[in-house]
Amino acid sequence: MRSTRFQSISISDFKQVEFPFRVGYPLDMVGFAEPGGYRKAESLPAFLAEAVGDVGGALALGPSWLNVGPAGLIDFGLPEGLERRVAVRRFGALDVHLPAREDLICFKLYAAVDQGPRSKHMDDLHALGPSSDELVAAARWTRTHDTSVGFLAELRSALAHFGVEVDDGDL
């Protein structure tokens, strides 16, 4: 029996917090909650990797239904104030910190720009129904992660998909 309490930050969509779109796998984890903030999840601790394997086998989710694929988001910073807005859900000894809607819009816009207009992330972003102001705020955050000209062009295209036009000074 595992008795270790563990806290993590996820950027995935969870039905438990009533996001209006698909609940899918994998579940993306970016870091571990610690006093004063979040620490990048380089890998899952052995006890958690074992538990993930157990759950994945029992529920036919596969071995990597919980992963640290997008942990690099922490390198350039999570949206300001995220730690005050997360919803904490307890699953036995596991506390999962789930992003608030405005933070999820940031993550989904970044992923939609990265993976394109036909991605599941663009579908998720549509389901969230962000306002123009929310999209511009999220776009500003995405620019802290990728300042390239190519990303900017794709970002503008994604924003235009929602009817949002921006000038260079807006981002």
Strand 66-67 versus strand 27-34 pairing type: parallel
Q: Which of 99, 115, 141 is the C-terminal boundary of a domain?
A: 99
Does one domain contain both 12 and 92?
A: yes
Residues 6+ apart with CB under 8 A from 27: 10, 12, 14, 65, 66, 67
Q: Do residue 94 and residue 155 come from a single domain?
A: no
What SS3 class is residue 132?
A: helix
140's CB contacts (< 8 A; 6+ apart) are 170, 171
Based on the domain organization, do 60 and 38 belong to the same domain? yes
59, 129: one domain: no
pLDDT above 70: percentage of residues in the chain: 85
127 belongs to a structural domain:
yes
Same domain, 95 and 106: no
C-alpha to C-alpha distance for 120 and 143, rounded to whole angstroms: 21
- When pLDDT is cut at 50, 70 and 90, the band that residue 5 belongs to is low
Amino acid found at 49:
A
* Residue 1 domain-assigned (yes or no): no
Q: Which of 67, 99, 131 is the last residue of a domain?
A: 99
- Comparing 16 with 47, the larger pLDDT belongs to 47
Given 55, 78, 99, the domain boundary residue is 99
Burial code (b: 16+ CB inside 10 Å, e: under 16) for 106-116 equals bbbbbbbbbee
**Same domain for 81 and 14:** yes
Residue 82's pLDDT is: 93
Q: Is 85 in the same domain as 14? A: yes
pLDDT at 64: 82
Average pLDDT, the chain: 84
Residues 27 and 90 both lie in one domain: yes
Do residues 152 and 112 share a domain? yes
Q: Report the number of distinct structural domains present in the chain.
A: 2
Q: Are 111 and 145 in contact (CB under 8 A)?
A: no
The residue ranking higher by pLDDT, 51 or 83, is: 83
My answer on whether 14 and 71 are in the same domain is yes
**Residues of the domain holding 78:** 6-99
What amino acid occupies position 111?
A: A
Least confident range of 5-9, 147-151, 162-166: 5-9
CB within 8 Å of 3: residues ≥ 6 apart = 93
Band of the pLDDT at 160, cuts 50, 70, 90?
Answer: very high
Question: Is residue 96 pLDDT above 90, yes or no?
Answer: no
Q: Are residues 92 and 13 part of one domain?
A: yes
First-to-last alpha carbon distance for the chain, in angstroms, is 50
